[in-house]
């Protein structure tokens, strides 16, 4: 069978069961687009390549599948870099296909040429420059395999124009067999036996879960273990939803803007079972004071995550789900005695923290951003897919929207990419057309990829954008208020567009609330609308996110409301 490179690419994508591609055409990928048009694969035309990667990322996070992007060479490729780095930091499986100038022009500073493989080497899990059409099918298969296996991540494949338009005799690629890449999924049982011993002895155990628990679909196992050993659970920003947010054992998020009880529990616990986390500085605060009384068990598929930031008592390399599954079985075999009395002091201590120092804010006659998120939680029954931008909006979403299921909270955790939420919401909505998808945004970050409103309208993706509009770059302003004597250097956005008119200009619905008693009506109207909506909530200008642990301080040193 004679096929062109472009035909081989699309055939291989179909074999990988790709149903949606987010992208933007250009000279170097015109042959691929010409073939794409003839297939059943849905192409989502974005308005900026960064949007394509974030949308594919949102699609991947809610569906658990590999997100796919297609962009042209040069600027098309460089525009993907922020999106790729965001996905890399959060371990999201993507395959990013970039066009490249023809092989004979590579290295010649040709029109729209850039060494994207060189540029993305440190922010991809792996990347390829395909130099022969014969290699294409195999490389694409490898790319998908690498993206989704082990610790997932983005893989970039750079395809020169002549590789795409050369016709060859097609041979189906064999199975992927990489001698140098064999992720280890099954845990060491001896290590698990040690964990069981620690569980038996622990008086104040704590489960600490991160994005790895969600990526490995370990939520049921996390929940089972927590209930079985009666351990309270905290999570990183990336781990929200891995354990039900309305469960009595739930502590709320850990870290810089974590709940009082979660951070205090980390300090007091004598056993920390950490699952799929990497002990990021926003989580640990000052590292030498982190969990000082605890024996730390660290379960992660990536050996480099273990002992990178904290020393642990028991390292376990393995898939979170498989590992917890085995651990649950081992725990079943032992007698833990009367847990209700053994845990009484620990759980009542946590309850006291919860009662004395809950997440709180003061209601006034202006709209409080926390109130908007609370109302949104109430009106959606906690069942919406929430994407966020980055900053205060993100933290309030994490604190006041309670996630009972995994894959419902889509946020740029590691890289902290402003402009992520809107395109990610479009990707999530396309993956889950029947779900309510809400982007909780700030007036600053929404402007970073606002052009994607046109994509949402074109794709008939009825996403809901909730702008917590304080006319500030709120999180930086908060730092300036607290640590820079209120010198608000360049954080005041004196000129902000009229978001209602802007929504209308894009052909979406625009709504606004300026008083607390308008919030519910606006949210209801926005959520019921069959189209894309921007809801502009004019909120208290100088509200801060609390609790807050100053950067580099121990996480028990929290600034409170």
Partner 1 sequence: MEEQKHIFSMLVDNVPGVLSRIVGLFSGRGFNIDSLCVAETTDPAVSRITIVSKADAPIVEQIEKQLNKLVNVRKIRDLTGPSSVKREMALICVQAKAKHRAEILRIVDIFRCKVVDVGLEHYTIEVTGDEGKLKALLKLLKPMGIKKIARTGPIALFREPN
Sites of contact with partner 1 (CB under 8 A): 117-118, 121-122, 125-126, 129, 146, 178-181, 302-304, 307-308
User: Distance (Å, rounded) from C-alpha 385 to C-alpha 260?
Assistant: 26
Indicate the pairing of strand 2-4 with strand 167-169. Answer: antiparallel
- Is 7 one of the catalytic residues? no
> Which residue number, 63 or 131, has a Cβ lying nearer to partner 1?
131
Half-sphere exposure of 77 (CA within 13 A, CB side): 27
Catalytic residue among 112, 230, 451, 458: 112
Residue 155 CA to chain centroid, in angstroms? 17
Q: What are phi and psi of 509, to 5 degrees?
A: -95, 135
What is the nearest approach in angstroms of partner 1 to the Cβ of residue 182?
A: 10
Least separation, in Å, of the C-beta of 65 and partner 1?
21
Residue 307 beta carbon to partner 1: minimum distance, rounded to whole angstroms:
6
Instruction: Specify whether the CB–CB gap between 222 and 233 falls below 8 A.
Output: yes
Establish whether 161 is a catalytic residue. Answer: yes
From the list 16, 35, 49, 142, the catalytic residue is: 49
CB nearer to partner 1: give 48 or 145: 145
- Smallest distance from the beta carbon of 146 to partner 1, in angstroms? 6
Inter-residue contact 67 to 427 (CB < 8 Å): yes
Choosing from 37, 38, 111, 486, the catalytic residue is 111
To which residue do tokens 């658990």 refer?
64
Among residues 89, 238, 264, 475, the one annotated as catalytic is 475
For the question of residue 49 being annotated catalytic, the response is yes
Least distance in Å: CB of 387 to partner 1?
29
The yes-or-no answer on residue 290 being catalytic is no
* Of 391, 363, 150, the residue nearest 276 (C-alpha): 150
Say which residues have a Cβ less than 8 Å from residue 530's Cβ, sequence separation at least 6.
462
Contact (Cβ atoms closer than 8 angstroms) between residue 461 and residue 426 = yes
Would you call 525 a catalytic residue per the annotation? no
The H or E element containing residue 414 is none
Q: How far apart are CA 541 and CA 109, in angstroms?
A: 49
Per-residue CA distances from 236 to 62, 215, 280, 327, 414 (Å): 18, 13, 9, 21, 11
CB nearer to partner 1: pick between 146 and 398: 146
Dist CA 469 CA 471 (whole Å): 6
Per annotation, catalytic residue among 161, 295, 354, 368: 161
Q: What are the phi and psi torsion angles at 459 (to 5°)?
A: -85, 0
Q: Which of 37, 157, 50 is nearest to 98 (CA)?
A: 157
Q: Which is nearer to partner 1, 128 or 409 (CB)?
A: 128
Could you identify the residue written with the tokens 């490729």?
A: 77
CB-nearer residue toward partner 1: 122 or 552: 122
Q: CA-CA distance, 200 to 65, in Å (whole number)?
A: 38
Residue 169: strand pairing partners: 2
Output the DSSP codes for 140-151. Answer: HHHHHHHHHSSS
Instruction: Say which DSSP state 131 is in.
Output: -
Distance CA 367, CA 376 (A): 13
CB 298 → partner 1: shortest distance, Å?
13
| Distance in Å, CB of 114 to partner 1, minimum | 15
Q: Which is nearer to partner 1, 125 or 477 (CB)?
A: 125
Residue 88 or residue 170: which is nearer to partner 1 going by CB?
88
**Residue nearer to partner 1 on the CB measure, 129 or 159:** 129
Chain centre to alpha carbon of residue 551: 22
Q: How far is the CB of 281 from partner 1 (least distance, A)?
A: 15
Active-site annotation, residues: 49, 111-112, 161, 475
């Amino acid at each position: 069978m004679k096929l062109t490179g472009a035909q081989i690419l699309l055939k291989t994508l179909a074999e990988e069961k790709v149903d949606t591609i987010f992208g933007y055409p250009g000279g170097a990928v015109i042959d691929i687009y010409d073939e794409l048009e003839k297939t059943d694969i849905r192409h989502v035309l974005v308005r900026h390549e960064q949007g394509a990667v974030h949308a594919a990322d949102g699609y991947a996070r809610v569906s658990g599948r590999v997100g796919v992007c297609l962009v042209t060479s040069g600027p098309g490729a460089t525009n993907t870099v922020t999106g790729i780095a965001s996905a890399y930091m959060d371990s999201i499986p993507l395959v990013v296909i970039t066009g490249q100038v023809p092989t004979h022009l590579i290295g010649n500073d040709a029109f729209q040429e850039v060494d994207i493989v060189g540029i993305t080497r440190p922010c991809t899990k792996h990347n390829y420059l395909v130099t022969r059409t014969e290699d294409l099918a195999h490389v694409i298969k490898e790319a998908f395999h690498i993206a989704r296996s082990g610790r997932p991540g983005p893989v970039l494949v750079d395809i020169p124009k002549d590789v795409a338009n050369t016709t060859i005799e097609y041979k189906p690629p064999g199975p992927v067999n990489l001698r140098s890449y064999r992720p280890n999924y099954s845990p060491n049982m001896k290590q698990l036996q040690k964990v069981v011993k620690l569980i038996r002895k622990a008086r104040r155990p704590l489960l600490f879960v991160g994005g790895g628990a969600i990526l490995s679909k370990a939520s049921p196992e996390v929940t089972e273990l927590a209930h079985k050993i009666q351990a309270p659970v905290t999570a990183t920003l990336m781990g929200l939803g891995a354990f039900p947010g309305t469960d009595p054992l739930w502590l709320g998020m850990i870290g810089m803007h974590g709940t009082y009880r979660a951070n205090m529990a980390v300090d007091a616990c004598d056993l920390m079972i950490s699952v799929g986390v990497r002990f990021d500085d926003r989580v640990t605060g000052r590292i030498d004071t982190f969990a000082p009384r605890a024996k730390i068990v660290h379960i992660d598929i990536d050996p480099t995550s273990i002992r990178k930031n904290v020393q642990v008592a028991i390292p376990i390399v393995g898939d979170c789900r498989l590992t917890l599954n085995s651990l649950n079985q081992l725990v079943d075999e032992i007698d833990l005695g009367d847990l209700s009395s053994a845990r009484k002091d620990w759980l009542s201590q946590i309850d006291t923290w919860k009662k004395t120092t809950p997440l709180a804010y003061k209601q006034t006659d202006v709209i409080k951003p926390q109130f908007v998120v609370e109302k949104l939680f109430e009106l959606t029954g906690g069942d919406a897919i929430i994407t966020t931008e980055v900053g205060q909006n993100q933290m309030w979403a994490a604190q006041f929207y309670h996630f009972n299921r995994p894959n419902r909270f889509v946020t740029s955790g590691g890289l902290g990419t402003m402009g992520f939420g809107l395109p990610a919401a479009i990707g999530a909505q396309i993956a889950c057309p029947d779900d309510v998808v809400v982007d909780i945004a700030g007036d600053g970050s929404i402007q970073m990829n606002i052009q994607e409103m046109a994509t949402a309208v074109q794709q008939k993706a009825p996403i809901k954008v909730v702008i917590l509009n304080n006319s500030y770059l709120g999180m930086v302003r908060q730092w300036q208020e607290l640590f820079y004597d209120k010198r608000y250097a360049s954080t005041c956005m004196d000129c902000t567009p009229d978001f209602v008119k802007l929504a209308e200009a894009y052909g979406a619905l625009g709504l606004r609330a300026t008083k607390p008693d308008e919030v519910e009506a606006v949210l209801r109207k926005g959520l019921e609308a069959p189209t894309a909506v921007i809801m502009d909530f004019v909120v208290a200008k100088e509200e801060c996110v609390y609790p807050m642990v100053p950067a580099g301080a121990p996480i028990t040193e929290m600034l409170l409301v």
